[in-house]
Chain A
Amino acid sequence: MVTESATELSSPALVLDGVHAYYGHSHILHGVSLRLEEGRLLALLGRNGAGKTTTIMSIAGLLTPREGAIRMFGRSIQRLAPEFIARAGVRLVPQGRRIFPSLTVQENLAVAEQRREGKSPWSFERVYQLFPRLRERHRQGAGLLSGGEQQMLAIGRALMGNPKVLLMDEPSEGLAPLIVAEVGRAIDQIKREGLSIILVEQNFKLALDLADDVVVINTGRIAYAGTAAAVRAENELVTQHLGVF
C-alpha cells in the first residue's frame, strides 16, 4: 500500500491533465496538460488571450474546470473551493496585484498567514527581509503604495501562506524596468529556496532568465513544452510560437 506521504514524495508538485475550462459559454482551455516538478520554475508563455490566466485561475479554483484533473503533490484539488486550495498550499500572485487597498501592508500579510506542519520558512520577518520597502511602509494603507510596492506586497502575501506551489500571473506587468529587475531578483531568490513556481509572463526575457521549463500555450492548447535551456538555444522556437522576441 502506498501511503500518502510516499505519494507526496514521488508526485510532481503540480499536474494538469486534460483540463477544459469555460468562461460562461466560451470554451477557453481545450485539454491543457502540464507538469511542474518540485523545486522548478515553469514559465507559461503565450500571446494575449491564449489561456494563460485562465490556466492559473483554474489551478487556484477561481474558475472551476469542467473536465480534467489537477493534482498538487498527488492530491486532487480541482473540485475544492479556492480557500481550501490556498490552505492546501497553492498560493496566487494574481494579475493586476489585487492587494487589499483598505488594509495596511502588515494586515495584507496577516490575513494570508498560514503556518504549515514541518516546513514554514516564511514569516513577516522573512518577507520584510526580501522586500525592505514593505517593512518601511508596514503601517501604511496598501492602497497608497506605488505599483512596484503593491507587486512586492502581492508576492509577500502569497509567501505568508507558506505555499508548496506558487502561481505568479504577470508580476512584471506595468512596472518600471528598475522595479522589474528587483522583482525578478526576488523571484530568483524565492526559487532558490526550493519553491515550485508557475510564472506567467509577457516579458519573455525575464521569464527565460528565471525558468527551468517552458510551456507555450496557444488558443487554449499546449503548443510547446520543453526546457528553458532548449528554448534559449533555439531562438526560432520562440519566434515560431510567440511571434515576438
Chain B
Amino acid sequence: MQFWQIQTLNSFALGGLLFLLSSGFALIFGLMRIANLTHGALFMLGAYVAVSAMRAGFGLALAALIAALAVAAVGGLIERLVLRRLSGNAQGQVLATLGLSFIASDFCLIVWGGDTIPIQTPAMFQAPLRLFGLIFPTYRLVVVGIAIVVGVVLYLLMERTRLGAMIRAGVDDMQMARAVGIRASALFTIVFCLGALLAGLGGAVGGPIFSAYPGLDSDMLSLALIVVILGGIGSLVGTFVASFIIGFIYTFGTALLPDLAYVILFLPMVIVIAFRPTGLFGTIKT
C-alpha cells in the first residue's frame, strides 16, 4: 500500500516539475517554431544557482526566486544576442541552442564541480504529513501545489490578457500577427525570458528531489521533448496533462520495470507521432 501511495505522489511531483520545465519549452516552440535545446541546461542552471544562493544563506524559497530571475536574464540574453541574429534560420537557431547547452554544462562543471550537490528540503517541510491514516512526504505535495499555481497563473496570462492573446496570435500565424502591428521581436524576448524563468524555477524547486548534478540538463531535456510531443506544441493544457502522464509513466516504469523504463517512456511518444502528429491537444504538426 505504502509503495503505491508514495510512487503516486512521486509521479505527481515529477509531473509538476516537468510542467514547470515543459510549459516554457512548449511556449517557445509554439511561437518561435524552434526546439530550444538549452532548456535542460536552463533547468540545471536554476538548480546550481539555488545551491549558491542557499550557501550564501538564503532559504529555498528565496533561492528559487533568485534562480528563476537569474535564469530568465540568461534566457533574455540568449534570445537577444544569439537567436535574434539568426532570425528566419530555424535550423541555425536550433543548432545554436545545442551549442549553448554544451557551453552551459561546461560552465556549470567549472563553477560547481562534478559531484552531485544535494539541496536541503526546507525544515518546515521535512516532517511527513499524516492525512487519513496515510503518510505523505510533505515537500512533494508542495511541489505539486507550486506547479498547479504556476499553471493557473500561466493560463490566466495566456487566456485573459492582451499579451496572452498576442502570443496566441503569433502561434496561430506569425506573419499575420506582425501585419496587425504586433512587435515580433519584443514578443520573442518576453516568451523566451518567461520560458527560461519557469525552467530556472523548476530546477530550484526540484533541487530537494533531483539534487544538482552534471547531466541533469540532458535528463530533463529529453523528458521535456517527450512531454511537448505528447501534449502538442503550443498547447498549455496539453503540456499540463502530458507532464503528469509522463510523470506517472516514468516513475512507475523505473520502479516496476527498471530495465524497460525508457521503452515505456518513449513508446507513447512514438505512438503519438505515428497516429496523432499534432499531439494530444495541439494543432501544429511535429
The bracket for how many chain B residues form the interface is 10 to 19
A21-52 to B contact mask, C-beta < 8 Å, 1/0: 00000000000000000000000000000000
| Closest beta carbon of chain A to B184's beta carbon, Å | 6
From B165, B175, B183, contact of A103 by CB (8 A):
B165
Cα(A74)–Cα(B103), bound, Å = 49
Give residues 165-194 of B contacting A (CB, 8 Å). Answer: 165-166, 168-169, 171-173, 175-184
Q: Which of A12-20, A92-100, A132-140, A222-230 faces chain B?
A: A92-100
Say whether A101 faces chain B, with CB atoms less than 8 Å apart: yes
Say whether B162 faces chain A, with CB atoms less than 8 Å apart: yes
Cα(A91)–Cα(B183), bound, Å = 14
- Cross-chain contact B179 with A111 (CB below 8 angstroms): no
Interface of B, secondary structure class, is: helix
Please, which residues of chain B bring their CB within 8 A of the CB of A107? 165, 168-169
Q: How many A residues have CB within 8 A of the partner chain?
A: 25
- Cross-chain contact A83 with B181 (CB below 8 angstroms): yes
Cα(A98)–Cα(B171), bound, Å = 13
From B166, B171, B283, contact of A111 by CB (8 A):
B166
Cα(A6)–Cα(B257), bound, Å = 79
Given A103-B165, A107-B165, A110-B162, A83 and B183 touching (CB < 8 A)? yes
Cα(A114)–Cα(B184), bound, Å = 16
Cα(A161)–Cα(B180), bound, Å = 7
From A81, A101, A102, A111, contact of B180 by CB (8 A):
A111
From B162, B168, B171, B182, contact of A83 by CB (8 A):
B182
From B165, B166, B178, contact of A86 by CB (8 A):
B178
- Cross-chain contact A94 with B179 (CB below 8 angstroms): yes
| Closest beta carbon of chain B to A89's beta carbon, Å | 10
| Closest beta carbon of chain A to B190's beta carbon, Å | 14
| Closest beta carbon of chain A to B177's beta carbon, Å | 7
| Closest beta carbon of chain B to A58's beta carbon, Å | 13
Given A100-B176, A101-B172, A111 and B183 touching (CB < 8 A)? no
- Cross-chain contact B175 with A82 (CB below 8 angstroms): yes
From B177, B178, B183, contact of A100 by CB (8 A):
B177
- Which residue among B162, B166, B176 has the maximum number of chain A CB atoms within 10 Å of its CB? B176
From A86, A101, A103, contact of B181 by CB (8 A):
A86
Cα(A58)–Cα(B283), bound, Å = 29
Apart from A82-B175, A83-B178, A102-B283, list 8 A-B contacts with CB within 8 A. A61-B179, A83-B179, A91-B180, A91-B181, A102-B168, A111-B162, A161-B180, A161-B181
